[in-house]
Amino acid sequence: MNDRPNFLFFITDQQRADWLGCYGHPVLRTPHIDAIADQGAVFDNFYVASPVCMPNRASLLTGRYPTVHGLRYNGCVLPRSAVTFVDLLAQAGYHTASIGKSHLQPFTGRAPLMPVPDDPGAYDEAWRQIDDDYSQEEPGRYKADGRYEFDTPYYGFQHVDVVTRHGDRCGGHYEQWFRERAENWQELWDGANQLAHNYSCPQAYRTPIPEALYPTAYVRDRTIDYLAARGEQEQPFFAFVSFPDPHHPFNPPGRYWDMYRPEDFEIRLPYGAHRNPVPPMRWLHEQWQGGGSQTTPETAMMASDEELRQVMALTAGMITCIDDAVGAIMNCLRQQGLDDNTVVCFNADHGDYLGDFNMLFKGALPFDSITRVPFIWSDPDDRNARRTKALASTIDLSASILERAGLEPYAGLQGKSFLGNLNGSAELRDDLLIEYNDSGPRLGFETPARVRSLIDERYRMTIYQGHDWGELYDLKTDPDEARNLWDSAEHSEVKARMSLRLAHQLAALMDESPRARRLA
């Protein structure tokens, strides 16, 4: 392998693994992302560390689980003292850039689900609160005209061009840029001015914002600007290119709105397909049938078949919009002569139920649809198409990128390098852990859910802290996870074996950093 390659890392927000052409989707068209897959290794069993935006993004950068790095659920922060693999790349001479969604700090002004004291004392938390600024992504930074300049390095990134929030009215540097370029920006951002449509699904919004001013185009154009500047430099780079779509609301711009028809999509797994749903699923179903509402716009819910087909069509439009942006960026990479020494990756921060068992969005139920995500690694040293069944995780990205850059990992890194699996080998690990922590009680839980899952080559077992019910699925005979074997006497030995292995995984979560400085 070449020394010191460049890295171009694409990541989308809330995109499940099977929603790409190269992963077998029968309707969605993603030729540009598929072209990357045609020149690289596609991981069929790549899972998140946590199926939520902020915790998993922090796990990507640190190579550590949320329990250890501290950003346990949305609304927390990644401590500024945390070391990331980007820090090591920068220290080794790489130029590092984050373009698009970062989400390592809160980017809304909304109050948390669990209230905090109005007058907190000096010791209202278990840890002393260090006087650090964790507000660089918050809305107030971007209200002024001009451009807010980040305090860098930002978790190792020397160049930051941030897009916050979701949909057509994103914030951050995008918001400042949008206001400068659209004289009628207030009119375009007025919800009363959405274009006419006949969609009735939740959070469907036909944006009047033209394609050229939509957030996906902004991320595309800023990345192209960055690559054009790097083409004249000999310094290697790491570019983290993060699209805020296809996360809801569902508002693909321009021609992407009606690019796909709802009737072309199938509801393959209705709620009735699950033979013995656990209490949170039953609670969601009761809420749906009884006309209940979501706790927040991001909370999991159920919807009708017709609404789900509409959501699928709009989601497909948003993904194809991203795919076209990826194609333009890859064309720029080639034009700048950078493609012959650039590792190109494609990933997502988590998935979406997107119709499975009539559910939408994400939540405490760790089905494959929200925990398994696409991952493609295209390396200039071997552009041959291949696939691997290796069980890999978001926490493995740090170790793998550092090894490819010729750098040693830091103490406390919990992931494993998967570079030995790029040739198709499945020998990486026997099982992997997935965490889910909620910030408040939702989906019928009386307290915030604490969920841990163990996945191996055949089974997925999940425990819900404080509850005697759980989940066990045979992924070989039941890949749709539609028959829960938790109470099956026939599978009691499997559950016992998985429980012991999960206990070993949890025991390994101890933070190994900092290392001992003396014997005692």
Q: What is the CATH number of the domain that holds 54?
A: 3.40.720.10
Confidence at residue 337, expressed as pLDDT on a 0 to 100 scale? 97
Confidence at residue 281, expressed as pLDDT on a 0 to 100 scale? 98
The pLDDT tens digits for 232-273 are 899 999 999 999 999 999 999 999 999 999 999 999 999 999
Contact yes or no for 163/173 (Cβ under 8 A): yes
Residue 176 covered by a domain = yes
Residue 161, φ and ψ in degrees, nearest 5? -130, 95
Mean per-residue pLDDT of the chain: 96
* Residues ≥6 apart with Cβ < 8 Å to 268: 355, 356
Confidence at residue 359, expressed as pLDDT on a 0 to 100 scale? 98
Confidence at residue 132, expressed as pLDDT on a 0 to 100 scale? 83
Written as six digits, the tokens of 122 are: 């000096």
**How far is 504 from 136, CA to CA, in rounded Å?**
38
**How far is 43 from 40, CA to CA, in rounded Å?**
10
Q: How confident is the model at residue 164 (pLDDT cuts 50, 70, 90)?
A: very high
Residue 447 covered by a domain = no
Confidence at residue 244, expressed as pLDDT on a 0 to 100 scale? 98
Domain region containing 230: 6-109+136-423
**Helix or strand (DSSP H, E) at 313:** helix 305-335
Residue 122 covered by a domain = no
Written as six digits, the tokens of 214 are: 């939509």
Q: Is the confidence at residue 116, as pLDDT, over 80? A: no
Residue 484 covered by a domain = no
Confidence at residue 2, expressed as pLDDT on a 0 to 100 scale? 57
Written as six digits, the tokens of 432 are: 């992997």
Q: How confident is the model at residue 90 (pLDDT cuts 50, 70, 90)?
A: very high
Confidence at residue 82, expressed as pLDDT on a 0 to 100 scale? 96
Return the beta strands (E) in 287-417 as ranges.
301-302, 342-348, 359-360, 375-378, 386-388, 392-393
Contact yes or no for 410/81 (Cβ under 8 A): no
Residue 235 covered by a domain = yes
Q: Is the confidence at residue 1, as pLDDT, over 70? A: no
The pLDDT tens digits for 194-243 are 999 999 999 999 999 999 999 999 999 999 999 999 988 999 999 999 99
Written as six digits, the tokens of 66 are: 């949320």
Q: How confident is the model at residue 122 (pLDDT cuts 50, 70, 90)?
A: confident
Q: Is the confidence at residue 120, as pLDDT, over 90? A: no
Whose tokens are 């989400």? That residue is 103
Residue 95 covered by a domain = yes
Return the beta strands (E) in 115-158 as ranges.
none
Q: How confident is the model at residue 123 (pLDDT cuts 50, 70, 90)?
A: confident
Residue of 313, 303, 304 lying closest to 264 (CA atoms): 313
Residue of 363, 399, 305 lying closest to 14 (CA atoms): 363
Is the C-alpha dihedral spanning 56, 61, 66, 72 positive or negative?
A: negative
Confidence at residue 119, expressed as pLDDT on a 0 to 100 scale? 73
Residue of 73, 65, 111, 56 lying closest to 242 (CA atoms): 56
Q: What is the 3-class SS of 444-496, one letter each residue?
A: CCCCCCEEEEEEECCEEEEEECCCCCEEEEECCCCCCCCCCCCCCHHHHHHHH
Mean pLDDT of 371-386: 98
Confidence at residue 249, expressed as pLDDT on a 0 to 100 scale? 98
Residue 465 covered by a domain = no
* Coil, strand or helix at 191: helix
Residue of 391, 388, 408 lying closest to 399 (CA atoms): 408
Confidence at residue 9, expressed as pLDDT on a 0 to 100 scale? 99
215-230 helix and 173-181 helix, angle to the nearest 10 degrees? 100
The pLDDT tens digits for 300-316 are 999 999 999 999 999 99
Whose tokens are 């163990």? That residue is 454
Q: How many domains does the chain have?
A: 1
Confidence at residue 127, expressed as pLDDT on a 0 to 100 scale? 83
Residue of 426, 428, 406, 416 lying closest to 1 (CA atoms): 406
Mean pLDDT of 334-361: 98
Q: Can you say how many angstroms the Cα of residue 52 is from the centroid of all Cα atoms in its chain? A: 7
Confidence at residue 266, expressed as pLDDT on a 0 to 100 scale? 97
The pLDDT tens digits for 489-513 are 999 999 999 999 999 999 999 999 9
Residue 276 covered by a domain = yes
**How far is 78 from 230, CA to CA, in rounded Å?**
29
Mean pLDDT of 15-21: 98
**How far is 345 from 325, CA to CA, in rounded Å?**
15
Q: Can you say how many angstroms the Cα of residue 286 is from the centroid of all Cα atoms in its chain? A: 29
Confidence at residue 121, expressed as pLDDT on a 0 to 100 scale? 72
Return the beta strands (E) in 251-315 as ranges.
301-302
